[in-house]
Amino acid sequence: MSRNPAFIHCTMTGFLSTQCYSSLGKLKLLRNQPALSVLTTSQRKYISKDAAGIEFLQKSVVPTMHYQKSLPRLPVPKLEDTIRRYLAAQRPLLNDEHYRNTEKVAHDFQSDLGKQLHEELVALDKQNKHTSYISAPWFDMYLSARESVVLNFNPFMSFNPDPKPEYNDQLVRATNMVCSAVRFMKTLRGGLLEPEVFHLNPAKSDTDSFKRFIRWVPSSISWFGAYMVNAYPLDMSQYFRLFNSTRIPKQKRDELFTDDKGRHLLVIKRGNLYVFDALDRDGNLTKPSEIQAHLKYILTDSTPATSFPLGVLTSENRDTWAGLRQKLLDAGNGEALRLVDSALFCLCLDEEIMKDHIHISHNMLHGDGCNRWYDKSFSIILAKDGQAAINFEHSWGDGVAVLRFQNEVFKDTTEKPLVGPSSQPASVDSASAVRRLDFKLNEELKAGIIKAKENFNSAVSKLTIDAMEFKKGGKEQLKKKKLSPDAISQLAFQMGFLRQYGQTVATYESCSTAAFKHGRTETIRPASIHTKRCAKAFVQEPGKHTVDQLQGLLHECSKYHGQLTKEAAMGVGFDRHLFAMRYLANSKGMALPGLYLDPAYAAINHNILSTSTLTSPAVSLGGFAPVVPDGFGVGYGVHDEWIGCNVSSYPSRNVHEFLKCVHKSLEDIFTVLDGKPIH
C-alpha cells in the first residue's frame, strides 16, 4: 500500500475543540461489551507505600480507567454521507470535467462495490464491539509501512523552559524529568491518574462533589453520568504503551513490544547506551538523589563517542533494520537488545547548546541520528542547555496520550521539583548501578551502521524548517468577531499557498476521535469551495470586494470549517471510512473498486499541506516533516494575542516564502476585521 500522507505524524495531538464535543451526545450509542479489567494484577503492585507523597503525581478520586468500559463506539458513517463529503472535498481541487468524472466514479461505487464493502464493514464492526472499526486497520497501516520512522512518522513536541532558569541545568532538569515521568507511570498503573475528560462545563463536572458521586456509578454506565453534566471522557486505551514499549522491526510488518516488568531507564550519550534502575525491587521510585548521581556519572563518563552508534539503525528502512536486528541477535546481543526494548523510556543527553527555535526543531525532530533510539514509544531529549523535548514513535498511539504525559511532567517538574541546583547527588556506587551496554559487532553490522548513517544524513540534509510569529492578533480578537481561530489559521494557509503557487491543493488537518472507544483520528479537509472563493477574493481580487463582503466570506469559511471539525470529532468524516473499506477490499483480495483507482483519489491523499495544531502551557513548539516530497509540514498554535507556525519542507518547496505569504494573509484578514480595505 502506498504511503497515504498525514496518516502520519501530523496527528501530533489531534484537534480538540469545544464545538467538536457539544454534539457528541446526539450520536446513537451502541451497547458496549465488557472491556478490560480496570486494574490488572501487574498494575496493582504499583499501589505501594507512598513515601512522603513522592511516589505518585496525584491520587484521583475517580479511577483512571473508570469510563473506559462505557465509552461510546466510533460510528461507521452512512455510505451516502461519506460520498457526499468526499465529493465536497474534491470540488475545490478539480476542474469541471475532472469533477464530473470523479462524481460518476463515486456514485458508481456507492451503488455497487462500495455498498457491498460498507455492509461488510458494518457487520464486522457489530462483531467487534470491544473496539472500533478503524483500530486494527490503523495499527496495520503504521506497522506495515517500510519507510524510516524518522521524518516520515515521528514528530516532536518541545518543552517550555523551566520558569526558574537555574532549574534548566541539564543534570537538574534531567533528574526532575526522570522522577516525574516515573511518578506519572506509577500513578497511571496504580489507577490514580485523573481520567482524561473534556469538560464543556467544568463548574459542574470538574468538581470534587461530582467526582465523589461518579466514582460510585458502575463503570459500565459511568460515561452517561459524565455526559449528563456536559463532560466527555476520552479513550485512554493507548496509555499503557507509553512505558516499557518499543516498536520492533520485522520483515513486512513490525510488532509492538511491551514488558511492564522493566524497572530500568535507557540513557544515551555520545551514541553510547546506558541502563540503570529507576524503580527498586518493590516498584518504588529510586531516590531522586541516586537518580541524580547515576545521571551525573553518565554525563561525566569520559567514554568517547562510539564509532558505530547502534541507535542510527532505528532510522533505517524497516526491512533493512529487521535484517540487521536479526544479525545483532545472531551475534549474541539478545540480552542487550532486550534491555533497550523493555526500558521504561529513553533519555537522550545531547552535548549541543541550542542556538534558536530552528536548531531546536531540527535537533528534536531528527538530531544527528546517533544519540537516539527512534523506536522507543517516546524519548525525552535534553540538550546541554536544558532545552527539552519529546520525540515519539507514532504507531502505538496519537498525540493525546503523549501531550497529557508532557503536561503532567512539565507541571510536576516546575511546581514540585525533587532536586534543585543546590541538591547533592547521593554518595552511591554509580559505577556498579549504571551499566554501559556493549554490543558485539561483526564487519557486516559495522557496514550496516555506516550505511544507515549515510542514508540518515542524506534524508535530513534535504529538510528545511522555518518559523513565523504573527503578533497583530490571535484567539481573543477572532472570538470577539465570532470567528473560529482554527478556521482563520487554516484559511491563511490556503491564501498563503494560493499567493505563492497560484493553486488550491489537498490539505489535511488531524482531529482526534478519542471521545470514542479505541478512536484514533479523523481528517478535517480545510480546503473547501468556501476557502477557495475567499482566498481568491483576498489574494487575486482585493479591489473587487467591499470590506463587508470580505468579512462575509470570512464568516462563511469559519462556519463551514466549524461544521467539518464537528463532523470529524464525531467520527463522521469520510477519510477513515473510505480507508477502512479499501483495507477490507485488500484483505479480501478483491480488485480495487474504481473510486480508489481514480487519479483524484490519489491526488486528495497526496497532502501537500499537512497540518496539526497544538497549544499547551507545557509546549513551546511542535513539528514534523512534510508527508510528501512536494509538501509542507505545518505545525501551528493559535494563542490569545498571537499565532505561531513551525513549518518544514523539502527542496521542491520554499518554506521561507510560504511563511511570508501566510503572514501577509493574516495581516490582510486582521486588516479586514478592523474594518479597513486591503490593497
Q: Which residues contact 633 (CB under 8 A, 6 or more apart)?
A: 9, 10, 610, 623, 624, 625, 626, 627, 647, 648, 649
C-alpha cell read off for 606: 497526496
Residues 9, 362, 366, 394: which is the catalytic one?
394
Q: Count CB atoms within 10 A of the CB of residue 78.
A: 13
Q: For residues 644 and 623, give the distance between their C-alpha atoms in angstroms, rounded to a whole number.
A: 12
How many angstroms separate the first and last alpha carbons of the chain?
47
Q: Which strand (E) or helix (H) includes residue 655?
A: helix 655-673
Q: For residues 270 and 474, give the distance between their C-alpha atoms in angstroms, rounded to a whole number.
A: 42
For the chain, how many residues are written? 679
Query: Collapsing DSSP states into helix, strand and coil, what is residue 673?
Result: helix
Amino acid symbol at 416: K
Give the Å distances, CA to CA, from 26 to 21, 361, 561, 570, 617. 10, 41, 20, 9, 32
Bridge partner list, 147: none
Instruction: Count Cα atoms within 13 angstroms, Cβ side, for 414.
Output: 15
Contact 4, 192 (CB under 8 A): no
Q: For residues 635 and 467, give the distance between their C-alpha atoms in angstroms, rounded to a whole number.
A: 9
Q: For residues 380 and 265, give the distance between their C-alpha atoms in angstroms, rounded to a whole number.
A: 11
CA angle 476, 482, 484 (to 5 degrees): 75
Q: Which residues contact 610 (CB under 8 A, 6 or more apart)?
A: 5, 6, 8, 10, 507, 508, 624, 626, 627, 628, 631, 632, 633, 634
- Phi, psi values for residue 507, rounded to 5°: -130, 140
Contact 249, 375 (CB under 8 A): yes
Bridge partner list, 122: none
Q: For residues 275 and 336, give the distance between their C-alpha atoms in angstroms, rounded to a whole number.
A: 10
Active site residue 394: yes
Residues designated as active site: 394
